[in-house]
Amino acid sequence: MSKNIPISLLELAIVTQGSTTSETLTKTKELAQLADSLEYNRFWLAEHHNMQHVASSATVVLISYIASQTKKIRVGSGGIMLPNHSPLIIAEQFGTLETLFPNRIDLGLGRAPGTDTLTAQAIRKDFFDEAQQFPKNVSALQTYFSNENSSSPVRAFPGEGVEVPIWILGSSMDSAALAAAYGLPYAFAGHFAPKQMVQAFEFYRENFEPSEVLSSPKTMACVNVIAADTNEEAKVLSTSLYQMFLGLIRNNRQPLQPPVATLDGAMNEAELFHVNQMTACSFIGDKNHLIKELNKFIEYTKIDELMITSPIYSHEDKLKSLKISSEVIQTINER
């Protein structure tokens, strides 16, 4: 390969069956500390609401905690759902984070609510109007961060003049168009909506407009990675991932389930189709298998960075998967 591909980690702080929120946040800290020691590039947390078994709802608070417990790794949002918030408040919050942890904070922005319709309206009554204003609100956020806003009657303190990298996150062509037009880096949610990923990356690159923050396109794909000592063990561990997506399809909210020997017969044909469609960008296996498959994926998508997420039931197995994944990317980059 002609370029080194950094590896990063998306963590949803999912509560596993038999565990608690407090234990989950401790595990999240330990995961971040291991990623830091393994020289992962970023550790991102996602904003979700009204999900009993997802512990990242207060995303900014959790980002601050993780940044305080690590040394070098960049910590950020994957993402902040901007229609839920005032751009001014986000500028103040991330300006504060960047002031506390210089050169270590990322701001990934999405336009979805991160929840169901009823909860979105509980967060703010005008959510759906604000979702339509996403491009305008991204611009407003950039303005609050800029030194040029110093003459405005409304300013962000801290935040003004603070350099917080903004990423546009998405799972569709709309997000690719916005990232290209604004000259911002673009991250695609291939871990749950991979269908338009390659098309979105191509559109983004072809239509990219250089900006003050970025002179050329910059892409990152997030995918599911389940790594283990053997392919067979990884396949078993991955059953927790597939059970999670089956629960989403059935609207059956539950903690992350322990792995099972097989999922044969667990889904009807329609469920199997939808689960397979959502998890099409999942890489499951031992080190050698992952080196081969992820290398092909990186070459095919032409991404600049790989972000992984690993919904694995056992904390020890998850830590091991993180180590193997680091070795996989290191080997790919050395070729």
In this structure, what DSSP letter does residue 97 have? H
Mean pLDDT across 5-15: 97
pLDDT digits (tens, 9 = 90+) for 42-59: 999 999 999 889 999 999
φ, ψ of residue 306 to 5 degrees: the values are: -115, 130
Q: What does the pLDDT read at residue 1?
A: 45
φ, ψ of residue 285 to 5 degrees: the values are: 160, -170
Give residue for tokens 């032409």.
302
φ, ψ of residue 223 to 5 degrees: the values are: -135, 160
Q: What does the pLDDT read at residue 236?
A: 98
Average pLDDT, the chain: 96
Q: How confident is the model at residue 128 (pLDDT cuts 50, 70, 90)?
A: confident
pLDDT digits (tens, 9 = 90+) for 105-118: 999 999 987 788 88
- Check whether 319 has a pLDDT greater than 60: yes
Dihedral angle at the C-alpha atoms of 111, 113, 115, 116, nearest 10 degrees? -110
126: exposed, middle or buried (C-beta count within 10 Å: 0-12, 13-18, 19+)? exposed
**What angle do the packed helices 197-207 and 173-182 form, to 10 degrees?**
20
Mean pLDDT across 241-262: 95
Between the two ends of the chain, the Cα-to-Cα distance in Å is 6
pTM attached to this predicted model: 0.96
Helices (H), 38-126: 59-68, 87-100, 117-123
Judged by DSSP in three states, 18 sits in coil
Q: What does the pLDDT read at residue 178?
A: 97
At residue 257's C-alpha, the angle toward residues 254 and 259, to 5°, is 165
What is the C-alpha to C-alpha distance for residues 328 and 312, in angstroms, rounded to an integer? 18
DSSP lists the bridge partners of residue 44 as: 10, 76
Beta strands 42-45; 74-81: pairing state: parallel
Helices (H), 238-283: 239-250, 269-278
290: exposed, middle or buried (C-beta count within 10 Å: 0-12, 13-18, 19+)? buried
Give residue for tokens 């794909």.
221
Mean pLDDT across 248-268: 94
CB count within 10 Å of CB 97 equals 25
Mean pLDDT across 250-273: 94
Where residue 167 falls (left for φ over 0; alpha for ψ -120 to 50; beta otherwise) is beta
Contact 200, 175 (CB under 8 A): yes
